[in-house]
Amino acid sequence: MKKDIAASIGIVIFGIILLFFTTNGFTAFTMEQQRIQDLQTQPPEFPDIEVVDQTGESFNFKDFEGKHVLMTFIYTSCAAACPEMTTNMKYVYEKTDDKYFEEDLIFLSVSFDMERDTVEVLDRYAEYFNADPASWKMLRVLDDNDLEILLDTYGVTVIPEGDTDYQHNTSFYILNPEGQLTEVLNFKEPDIAAEILTEHLEEQEEK
């Protein structure tokens, strides 16, 4: 009997030890949590790729260095998470002091649907959310290779589902003026996102 109890205790202890190491000390219980943890541990920098905004103007992604960035990844025909995420991004946009958009801050909504999200489609989408292209850009990537680089850089998984839908990660990403990822936030908590973004901007002002 005692041997059975000791064996059971040993199995439980082994299980706890295994869980500790496989979840980075109990801090990553899901693949999404692990993805976020990896991004924050080894923050990526802006990739060297070309993008186009809703007005048809071309940029290199590195052109956004020097500003704080709040970024999401979307596709405009999405009927589930993307509209809610963009609505919440608009909430953060409106909660943020306008003065920061002059030189210190820009919002980016990056589409991964290269086939359907043309400049014209992104322009209509931006208009629906009252996104001023000077402060909130809806972006499309120009080729498949650059899109893959961009998604890999920020750990975004995009899985086609049927002819027009995708399964994908949904988060708010905050990047610092050096282009490094500093925050990966829950898009369902826009008040927290607005607060954290403002804290970063105020800290930059104090430097």
Range of the domain at 139: 44-206
Residues 115 and 190 both lie in one domain: yes
Residues 168 and 87 both lie in one domain: yes
Band of pLDDT at residue 23, cut at 50, 70 and 90: very low
pLDDT score, position 206 = 75
144 pLDDT higher than 60: yes
Residues 186 and 118 both lie in one domain: yes
45 pLDDT higher than 90: no
Residues 58 and 121 both lie in one domain: yes
Residues 25 and 52 both lie in one domain: no
Band of pLDDT at residue 156, cut at 50, 70 and 90: confident
Residues 80 and 169 both lie in one domain: yes
Half-sphere exposure of 115 (CA within 13 A, CB side): 6
Half-sphere exposure of 7 (CA within 13 A, CB side): 4
Band of pLDDT at residue 153, cut at 50, 70 and 90: confident
Pick the closest to residue 71 from 160, 173, 206 (CA basis). Answer: 173
Residues 70 and 138 both lie in one domain: yes
Residues 16 and 51 both lie in one domain: no
Report how many domains make up the chain: 2
Residues 78 and 127 both lie in one domain: yes
pLDDT score, position 56 = 97
Band of pLDDT at residue 46, cut at 50, 70 and 90: confident
Give 74-98 pLDDT, tens digit per residue: 999 988 889 999 999 999 999 999 9
Residues 76 and 167 both lie in one domain: yes
pLDDT score, position 9 = 47
**Mean local confidence (pLDDT), 113-139:** 96
Residues 110 and 183 both lie in one domain: yes
Residues 97 and 197 both lie in one domain: yes
| Residues sharing a CB contact under 8 Å with residue 76, sequence separation 6 or more, in sequence order | 82, 111, 113, 116, 117, 121, 122, 125
Domain containing 74 — which CATH number?
3.40.30.10
- Residue, of 70 and 24, whose pLDDT is higher: 70
